[in-house]
Amino acid sequence: QSSVTLYGVLDIGFGKVKDGKWGMNNGEGYAGTQDGFNSTSVIGFRGTEDLGGGLKANFNLQSGGLDLSTGGTSVAFSREAWVGLEGAGWGAIQLGRSSSIGAKVMGAYDFNGTSYSSAYDRAGISAVTWYGSSRRSSQLQYTSPNFGGVVVRAGFTAKGDEGGVQGIGVPDASKNRYSLGATFANGPLSVSAIAETKSAEGLRTAYAVGVSYDLSVVKLAATYNRRERDGDLTRNYNTFSAGGAAGSGGQLAGGKGWTLAAVAPFGPANVGVAYARNTEADIQALELFANYALSKRTRLYIDFAKGYDQNAITAVNANGRGLASANPYAVGVGVVHTF
Amino acid sequence: QSSVTLYGVLDIGFGKVKDGKWGMNNGEGYAGTQDGFNSTSVIGFRGTEDLGGGLKANFNLQSGGLDLSTGGTSVAFSREAWVGLEGAGWGAIQLGRSSSIGAKVMGAYDFNGTSYSSAYDRAGISAVTWYGSSRRSSQLQYTSPNFGGVVVRAGFTAKGDEGGVQGIGVPDASKNRYSLGATFANGPLSVSAIAETKSAEGLRTAYAVGVSYDLSVVKLAATYNRRERDGDLTRNYNTFSAGGAAGSGGQLAGGKGWTLAAVAPFGPANVGVAYARNTEADIQALELFANYALSKRTRLYIDFAKGYDQNAITAVNANGRGLASANPYAVGVGVVHTF
Amino acid sequence: QSSVTLYGVLDIGFGKVKDGKWGMNNGEGYAGTQDGFNSTSVIGFRGTEDLGGGLKANFNLQSGGLDLSTGGTSVAFSREAWVGLEGAGWGAIQLGRSSSIGAKVMGAYDFNGTSYSSAYDRAGISAVTWYGSSRRSSQLQYTSPNFGGVVVRAGFTAKGDEGGVQGIGVPDASKNRYSLGATFANGPLSVSAIAETKSAEGLRTAYAVGVSYDLSVVKLAATYNRRERDGDLTRNYNTFSAGGAAGSGGQLAGGKGWTLAAVAPFGPANVGVAYARNTEADIQALELFANYALSKRTRLYIDFAKGYDQNAITAVNANGRGLASANPYAVGVGVVHTF
């Protein structure tokens, strides 16, 4: 009677940060909610209805991060909350809250699944977390069909949703926001580009390009990224001093820079490395990871992330996010189960 | 193994109010949570168990309104939360929180699905929102079998649930509350009546009557309604001045008055109009709407609501609800997907 | 595609306490949330994946208590939130939050399902609520296979999870915490023992032993229990005076003592009695109960609990929990539906 699928991702690990003790999901490094060491634990509901004539209606509701170590997280569909229409010939649109176009286009070049140990993010130059979040509220998104390997994605958020209440009292500095991205993928090669316009005066258009090539024994990737803000050190990832907003952390870091990554498969396992350099803010980050798949739905992981010349993650603020410490690191081992 | 059904209603639209900007679910007009422009977005779980001998146990858990534009709503089963028993011969009872008897008996005469644009509600004379809510907590409800077109509904809430904590410290002014309603529906004709007693000294018994007749090319309805309160202008729907309780809004409006409505089907579409006049508070409201069904579960809508001689909806209070503005309106277009 | 099961327990009853009025779930006696008179109303999701070779991955997410009388409870998976691995030969481990080993090993001797009327708990000597909760966060649990009727359970929580944030700032007094329990069950006889080490300096190791024997016409049980704290009267179950922590109530009671219980089946019904005496804190509690099963999933109940020489439950604090009153009681009748 109902075509709804319940799905989820559950991550629980043992971890630690440089000057901390081992514990469950300790050292996740990010938010107050310890919702996984590698991945964000979530549940969700999604469904599709066939409207005939190649047209489909679909929806997705995905919770925010769930903390399995304490269980103390209220369920709100803060990651995906949208309704969409999809046509065989013209692609798909969706209305509501969803992953940003930046996350959808550039996520594939972060080989450890844009994990909490992501070197890109720890150096403040991940296109996934532009503007402080991997999500966009009140967005109209369009995804094209696959044209010979090319998929185009676009997003639009109206100025009336960029502040104020119900479109009243919207700040004068607010602007309509546009995103445009494309990926060409053919055989071993993947190339992508993405840009997102400023949402308010004082910011700049963010853009990124990425490329990956699969040599079978190893897959390589490189990206270049310019964020929406200058590389103001007071807003950098793990700083949280003067300008750092508690709770949103380094996802508000500015700057620009480049990344390199490699991942090698070994049967059901893989091993990888990623390096990111924020040239404007002078931050470097290194990530080492390995995964072992017990099945298609369950894997074990070990992650290590380290920052250099960086104010970082061994002390925490009131939200459990990292404060200053020289050359910090976080290490963890755990299990991710999806359903 | 489990007979549970997951269901939901998801509404996302673009809308605006008189002096505001267009945005997702902007102009919903009501609560702080922008949980739909036309309908309230919810998810729920319901189930039935056959106990044998014609007896069934059933339950329903339905979330409060979910805001798809931002995703930021914690899930609580604040609309339906009850367990019930149902017998072939004697009807059904349910225990817990549910829609009020007023909403169940009179909702059918509000042809746009008691939407957020409801003229009845905007004029403060909808039986759906008596006592400030379409829901009742701690209620025992009874629904009779259908006797030749007649269905009787009754509700009871104990004085011990009308204040205090766990039945201790209940105010002396609290009273047991009773609701009684009935609908006769036969062919094109439907007639209903409903009354709900006061829950505390100082209020009055609320009552309403309604009739609808389906002429096939058009369906007509009229209702008359007396609320639990006098038509004190300071408590009117969109006023929120002196006496208006923030967050509960015009659902606390008083007064009495009448409504007229018409809806005409055009294949998978319909077009309708509703008018409501609160004679005691001197408020009028007009509603125009159209729906186009893409399928049984997905429809597009356009809604327009306007108030006359009314302090209304273009400015908002801290909860995003309307403050004073002359002859306000709200207009929106969107999609409702059910599953 | 998904092997997830949605399950739940829904309890709604009419109840009252000594000086209070009858109402829905009034007199539950415990927490601010009136989430059932007999049982805690919850929903949950659980699933199992076959990994091959006798290995399984599984998970469980179970909400905190849901208040059906008002519906006003946000859903958070605060009772069960874990991922586990299970092997045919070696048993099962799980990582995250779950019921304590004490609850799992000793719950079976509380014949009314460790209900809110539990005499054991009302006297402050239930192994289910040691350390103020029937749950443990950040715990690694192990359950052995059944060896000729013997099942062993063990739990471990790292010091790094016993305070501080992400393992930083852990108090010096914190300790690794260990639990060890075992049950031997064979035919009519069941014998169990359980101990849990102190989590911080100043506490003591808690332990309990229990035995039950099923004579067919009646089943009998006896337990002995020493809590983690002295029997300080200011922390007793319903006291909430000087040392009582609001919200955690008598589950922080100290002391030691013994319990006796009997339950007799009558076809689909049962009738039972339990008595508990906290010898260190000088509290006694009596519980009378009866259940009638309409089916395997739905039952009616009547519960009565009374304390003697006890400061108790007729007045309530800000969280709706009992304050002082001599020889208090609570009585209720209701329905529990599981799915």
Instruction: Render pLDDT for B115-136 as a digit per residue (tens, 0 to 9).
Output: 888 899 888 889 998 988 899 9
User: Which A residues, 313 through 332, put their C-beta within 8 Å of a C-beta on chain C?
Assistant: 314-316, 320
The architecture (CATH level 2) of A5-338 comes to Beta Barrel (2.40)
Least confident range of B20-24, B207-211, B232-236: B232-236
Structure tokens given for B145: 């079998």
State percent of chain A over pLDDT 90: 66
- B96:C68 CB<8 A: yes
Query: B286 CA to chain A: closest CA distance, Å?
Result: 21
Helix runs in C267-324, H state only: none
What is the Cα A258 distance to its own chain's centre?
17
Give yes or no for A83 touching B (CB within 8 A): yes
Structure tokens given for C253: 């009671």
Q: Under 8 Å CB-to-CB from B147, ≥6 apart: which residues? A: none
pLDDT at site A318: 40
β B219-226/B256-266 pair status: antiparallel
Q: What is the tens place of the pLDDT at every residue in A216-243?
A: 999 999 999 999 988 765 544 443 222 3
What is the Cα C301 distance to its own chain's centre?
18
- C57:A297 CB<8 A: yes
pLDDT at site A117: 87
Q: Are A177 and A201 in contact (CB under 8 A)?
A: no
Task: Give the confidence band of A17 by pLDDT, cuts at 50, 70, 90.
Answer: confident
Place of tokens 């099962």: C92
Q: In the complex, which subunits touch C with 3 or more CB pairs below 8 angstroms?
A: A, B
CA dihedral A143, A147, A151, A154 (to 10 degrees): -40
* Residue B266 pLDDT exceeds 70: yes
Mean pLDDT of the region B38-58? 95
Q: What is the tens place of the pLDDT at every residue in A21-58?
A: 999 988 775 545 788 999 999 999 999 999 999 999 99
Place of tokens 């479109």: A167
pLDDT at site B322: 44
pLDDT at site C29: 55
What is the Cα A111 distance to its own chain's centre?
12
ipTM of this complex: 0.92
Task: Give the confidence band of B315 by pLDDT, cuts at 50, 70, 90.
Answer: very low
Between CA A159 and CA A5 the distance in angstroms is 34
Q: Between residues A173 and C61, which one has the greater pLDDT?
A: C61
R_g of chain C computed on alpha carbons: 20
Residue type present at position B96:
G
CA dihedral B228, B229, B233, B235 (to 10 degrees): -80
Structure tokens given for C170: 């852990």
Give yes or no for B135 touching C (CB within 8 A): yes
Task: Specify burial of residue A191 (Cβ count, 10 A radius: 0-12, 13-18, 19+).
Answer: middle
Give the residue from B323, B223, B228, B336 showing the smallest Cα distance to B277.
B223
| DSSP letter for each residue of A154-205 | EEEE-GGGSSSBTTBS--TTB--EEEEEEEEEETTEEEEEEEE--SBTT---
Q: Between residues B317 and C43, which one has the greater pLDDT?
A: C43
* Residue A251 pLDDT exceeds 80: no
| DSSP letter for each residue of C27-88 | T--S-SS---SSS--EEEEEEEEEEETTEEEEEEEE-----TTT---B-B--SEEEEEEEET
Q: In the complex, which subunits touch B with 3 or more CB pairs below 8 angstroms?
A: A, C
Mean pLDDT of chain A: 86
Q: Which residues of chain C have pLDDT under 50?
A: 1, 31, 235-249, 311-324
What is the Cα C30 distance to its own chain's centre?
12
pLDDT at site A252: 63
Give the torsion sign (CA, C209, C214, C215, C217): positive
Give the phi and the psi of residue C302 in degrees, each rounded to 5: -135, 130
- B77:C71 CB<8 A: yes
Query: B63 CA to chain C: closest CA distance, Å?
Result: 9
Tally Cβ neighbours within 10 Å of residue B318. 10
Give yes or no for B199 touching C (CB within 8 A): no
Give yes or no for B21 touching A (CB within 8 A): yes
Q: Are A26 and A34 in contact (CB under 8 A)?
A: yes
Query: A40 CA to chain C: closest CA distance, Å?
Result: 14
Task: Give the confidence band of A324 by pLDDT, cuts at 50, 70, 90.
Answer: very low
pLDDT at site C187: 95
